[in-house]
Amino acid sequence: MKVWAYIHPQLNILCCALLPEAVPEGVQAVELEVVSPDDVIYDNGQIRVKTEAEKLAEEKQKKLEELKQYVASLLSPTDYVITKIAEAQIRNDTEEVEALKQKYSAQLQQREAIRQWNEQMKQAIQNAQNLEELMGIVIEFKGE
Amino acid sequence: MPYTKRPFNFTGTLPNQILNDLELADDNFDILAQAFVNNDPASEVVKNADTVDGFHASQTPAPNVIVPLDASGILDLSATYVKSSVYTFRRVDLTNATSDYMLQVGEEAYIRFSNVTSVPLRIQTDVDMLYEIILQQRININANTVYVYLNPNNTTYASSFSILFYYWNSNGGISWAHYTNTDNAFKIYNQTPHLYMILETTRRTLKAFLNYEAGDNVIGFGILAGKWHSNLASWTSLGTFTFPYTTSGYILVRRLV
């Protein structure tokens, strides 16, 4: 897509017009061909398109943040198990700790599987060589 | 006193026939006179002539009232013609508009799009306006970590928007989908969202609920809120939707205030 990038005269921020007539009158704009307006950057006083390496690094950060949020949502329903065990440990009640581990062994195994999967996903994201490979990584835990 | 059609039947032989026929004629004149205002044909106004099949006509819509067409033969529901207090919308097709149109209160813009990555709404706006927006796409693709945006003034403004969205899906997934205070436009959602949104131009906030598809049989439900937290640039054009993929569908924009 084409964008017309300029520095807003009042706001002094980078703007990317999606239509040529959206550029404020009297403002000098740079016409750029990009995949998304997010690809444009104002760097050292110059408007330019992000390099592939910059885009990849940025998308990796987004993907890692998305993974973090997703894993938190998977773990939160069984957080009460950890709280109960931690409370028993604070009381030095080792018998209760063992009993709770036994009682909630399925939940604890599930949490362990989620954490292992999380580590694998982090590695896969960090190892992605290009945007296509990165975008192909679907964040979805299928373990039971 | 019934009306007698063709009352005269003069044969010249019956007694009092002239008297009887004249009485029938008087009765008929009385009945015909009653069709006029004040029972007086000289008024030249027929009773109930302002109704059709019992319905009155008026430029103020109301139940069981006929609204007249305007001089061009159009049912004009704009504020300058019909004083409508009835909740109704007049549709304006902006599919191929090339300049911004000032949508009036009670008007609905219809914008159909096909195989595009951006859709300018071509709607002029100002402060103190409230819109309902419905976006419906005809596709279902996996568009993970890439987003649909609404760009006010058909432009991005660096780090000027806050947004949050949360989702539930038919896989049992529940989570934040995204949140930030430093976006460059109203970020609408990832995947393939179909949404209902309320957008207002004074506080520059939007709220929406939506369902999304993700390229498979999963259905998701999402809620989102957004805010353009800089008010130094005037909001004069409602904006452009941008998509991270080629898409088709339609957008309805209704101006409520």
pLDDT in tens, A36-73: 999 999 999 999 999 999 999 999 998 998 899 889 88
Q: How far apart (Å, rounded) are the C-alpha atoms in residues B250 and B248?
A: 7
**Which is nearest to B131 in space by CA: B169, B104, B97, B161?**
B104
User: Is B8 within the bounds of a domain?
Assistant: no
Q: Which helix (H) or strand (E) holds B97?
A: none
User: Is B29 within the bounds of a domain?
Assistant: no
Instruction: Check A16 against B144: CB less than 8 A apart.
Output: no
Q: Does A8 touch chain B (CB under 8 A)?
A: yes
CB pairs under 8 A between A and B: 79
**Which is nearest to A39 in space by CA: A89, A83, A3?**
A3
Instruction: Check A11 against B157: CB less than 8 A apart.
Output: yes
Residue ranges of E strands in chain B: 51-52, 55-57, 65-66, 90-93, 101-102, 107-120, 123-124, 130-137, 147-151, 155-157, 161-169, 174-183, 186-190, 192-200, 205-213, 219-228, 240-255
Q: Does B170 touch chain A (CB under 8 A)?
A: no
Of B145, B149, B155, the CB nearest to A59: B145
**Which is nearest to B85 in space by CA: B103, B108, B110, B105?**
B105
The pair phi, psi for residue B53, each rounded to 5°, is: 50, 35
Of B145, B155, B159, the CB nearest to A62: B145
Chain A neighbors of B160, CB-CB under 8 A:
11, 13
* Chain A stretch 22-61, residues whose beta carbon is closer than 8 A to a beta carbon of chain B: 22-23, 36-38, 42, 59
Q: What is the pTM assigned to this prediction?
A: 0.72
Domain ranges within chain A, ordered by starting residue: 2-50, 53-135
For B205, residues 6+ apart whose C-beta sits below 8 A from its C-beta are B199, B225, B226, B227, B228
What is the DSSP-derived secondary structure letter of residue B68?
P
Q: How far apart (Å, rounded) are the C-alpha atoms in residues B72 and A90?
A: 84
User: Is B58 within the bounds of a domain?
Assistant: no
Q: C-alpha A32: how far from its chain's center?
A: 27
The nearest CA of chain A is from the CA of B155 a distance in Å of 4
- Note down pLDDT in tens along chain B; length 257 residues: 677 777 777 777 777 888 888 888 888 898 989 888 888 888 888 877 767 888 888 877 777 888 888 887 877 766 666 666 555 678 899 999 999 999 998 889 999 999 999 999 999 999 999 999 999 999 999 888 789 999 999 999 999 999 999 999 998 888 888 889 999 999 999 899 999 999 999 999 999 999 999 998 999 999 999 999 988 899 999 999 999 999 999 999 999 99
The pair phi, psi for residue A66, each rounded to 5°, is: -65, -40
Instruction: Check A11 against B160: CB less than 8 A apart.
Output: yes
Q: Does B154 touch chain A (CB under 8 A)?
A: yes
Instruction: Check B155 against A11: CB less than 8 A apart.
Output: no
> Which pLDDT belongs to residue A144?
58
Using alpha carbons, list the distances in angstroms from residue A119 to A66, A76, A132: 14, 18, 21
The nearest CA of chain B is from the CA of A94 a distance in Å of 35
Q: Which helix (H) or strand (E) holds B30?
A: helix B17-33
> Which pLDDT belongs to residue B125?
98
Please say whether the dihedral angle defined by the alpha carbons of residues A41, A45, A51 and A55, taken in this order, is positive or negative. Answer: negative
Q: Give the chain B residue nearest A41 (alpha carbons).
A: B158
> Helix, strand, or coil here: B234?
coil
Give me the percent of chain A exceeding a pLDDT of 90. 81
> Which pLDDT belongs to residue B51?
79
Instruction: Check A37 against B185: CB less than 8 A apart.
Output: yes
Q: How many domains does chain B have?
A: 1
The pair phi, psi for residue B164, each rounded to 5°, is: -145, 145
What is the DSSP-derived secondary structure letter of residue A39?
G
User: Is B120 within the bounds of a domain?
Assistant: yes
- Note down pLDDT in tens along chain A; length 144 residues: 999 999 999 899 999 999 999 999 999 999 999 999 999 999 999 999 999 999 999 999 989 988 998 898 889 889 999 999 999 999 999 999 999 999 999 999 999 999 999 999 999 999 999 998 998 898 888 875
User: Is B102 within the bounds of a domain?
Assistant: yes
Interface test with B, best of A2, A10, A19 (most B CBs within 10 A): A19
Q: Are A13 and A38 in contact (CB under 8 A)?
A: no
Chain A neighbors of B176, CB-CB under 8 A:
69, 73
Beta-sheet pairing, B123-124 with B101-102: parallel
Q: How far apart (Å, rounded) are the C-alpha atoms in residues B188 and B193?
A: 8
